[in-house]
Amino acid sequence: MTRKQPQQSELDPRSKRLHGEGESYDDINPQHYKGATFHGHDIQVIDIIDLWNLGFNLGNVLKYTLRAGKKLNAETITELEKARWYLDREIHTITATLKETKRDV
């Protein structure tokens, strides 16, 4: 049985504040975090990270890559550089683990 994870705004009502006439702004999940609709369900990057068990580094690679595509402004390069930094970190971690494993054999 799949259990629906509560949204941050459900956990902390302080995360929403007024952002103009009748609109609210979610401090925890701003608009650039919002994902797409897939088979009638709204998904966010965190949903994909959790479903694929990507972990911290690869989760951040996905997060920053998708955010870069949404913003399309001067921050796009910065977001992609952040994604690359986390990808390089993951590659380094895996490489070190493989070297350590070979040493123990």
Does a structural domain hold residue 4?
A: no
pLDDT digits (tens, 9 = 90+) for 73-96: 878 999 999 999 999 999 999 999
Query: Per the domain annotation, does 6 fall within a domain?
Result: no
- Mean pLDDT, the chain, whole residue set: 77
Is 32's pLDDT higher than 90?
Answer: no
Is residue 19 in some structural domain? yes
Whether 3 maps to a domain, the answer reads no
Q: How many domains does the chain divide into?
A: 1
Residue 31, domain member (yes or no): yes
User: Is position 1 within any domain?
Assistant: no
| 51 in a structural domain | yes
Which residues is 24 bridged to in the sheet? 18
Identify the burial level of 2 via C-beta atoms within 10 angstroms of its C-beta, where 0-12 means exposed, 13-18 middle and 19 or more buried.
exposed
pLDDT over 70 at 45, yes or no: yes
Model confidence, pTM = 0.65
